[in-house]
Amino acid sequence: MNRARLIFHLDMNSFFASVEIAHDPTLKGKPVAIAGNPEERRGIIVTSSYEARAKGVKTTMPIWQAKKLCPTLLILRPNGDRYRAASKALFDILFTYTPLVEQVSIDEGYLDLTSYLKEIHPMLLAVNIQKRILEELKLPCSIGISPNKFLAKMASDMKKPNGITILRKRDIENKLWPLPIEEMHGIGKRTVEKWRKLGLSMIGDLAKADKELLMRKFGERGLVLQERANGHDGRPVNPHAYSVYKSIGHSSTLRSDTKNRQMIRATFDDLAKRVHLRLRKKEMFAKGVQITIRYHDWKMITRSRKLVNPIQSPDDLMREANILFEKAWNGEAVRLLGISTYDLLEKKYAYKQLDLFTYQEDIKQEEIDKTMNELRERFGEDIVRKGWKKQEEE
């Protein structure tokens, strides 16, 4: 039997910048951005205050470009300890309302507040939570109120900053369906054109699309997204979900013990691709890589490496794995190899310290990675192969 649910999605507004403003009130009302190496005009914008955004400053924009748009922009270095402390204080507050709190990221979470349905109007409850966070932490947030997680997420994005939005199932035809497809949670930026080419440019188009077409073009994921577009989402709020992604990795037992470098490299190449796919699916990047080597005599060792810049691409994972392997391998026959990633962070927080003279190459490489991923998704993993591997198979 279906029962009414009350789900909130709470999203902090310009979290890193807001934490800095709360720490230093003299910054209030000024254009503020968080980025690396501000003195050298290197790095990219991680996040910015709404005053900066009004001047055109955007996340992932190179600092020099942001400064050009907003000469008075105040750029601060990221302070991870400060942000983690603010996040802990935020979720400590949320857990006083319900044990059913699902942390999605450092500044975002769902709350199942169904138990309050007969006690207080949802809007009054949201106002209470929003006001308490502002008074105790000096931090602004937006809250979406709905009967499920998807609609709550969509609702919280509708009014920022300091917004509270109720999105009921009966509202979706008027409030949700007219939105462009790229604004739907779950639709990746790199697939927007694919949806548009099928004539699905609005969320309403997806809601009413032919199921066979969706299955053929997007598989089961297409049908799930259609369900969401129609307001259906039965996922529970899971208090343990956030801790699941502390690390992502894969290992593989070789068909036979080997010292063959080409076989070892091919195994690492396969593992790097598999780890990359899982990271990309979860929209996570890694600041740490670890390899596992199990030798023919079952002796096992691990070696890890912390990185300056977060990575996700198979080439980057392969490179780091090879560096670790070359330092660790004792020359004996190998039985099992593994690559795992740790110190994970969400894509939107995975800022890179870009050099002023090389950022264009980095952007170009990102476009190449996107194209290769699209080819793999459409035609399978083997459609794009490195030259040495292709030669090996011929």
Sheet arrangement for strand 101-105: 101-105, 108-112, 7-12, 141-146, 164-166
Q: Is 210 annotated as ligand-binding?
A: no
Residue 58 CB partners (closer than 8 Å, separation 6+): 45, 48, 66
Q: What is the dihedral of CA 131, 135, 141, 146, to 10 degrees?
A: -30
CA angle 119, 145, 229 (to 5 degrees): 140
Q: What is the dihedral of CA 94, 99, 101, 106, to 10 degrees?
A: 60
Backbone angles phi, psi at 254, to 5 degrees: -70, 155
Residue 349 CB partners (closer than 8 Å, separation 6+): 46, 105, 106
Q: Is 362 annotated as ligand-binding?
A: no
Residue for token digits 């490496």? Answer: 305
Q: What is the largest CA-CA distance in the chain?
A: 70
119 catalytic? Reply is no
Catalytic residue, candidates 51, 102, 108, 320? 108
- Residues 186, 225 contacting (CB under 8 angstroms): yes
Q: How far apart are CA 90 and CA 241, in angstroms?
A: 17
Q: How far is CA 175 from CA 1, 159, 165, 224, 233, in A?
A: 28, 12, 11, 20, 17
* DSSP three-state, residue 240: coil
- Known binding residues: 11, 107
Annotated binding site for Mg(2+): 11, 107
Among all residues, which ones are annotated catalytic?
A: 108
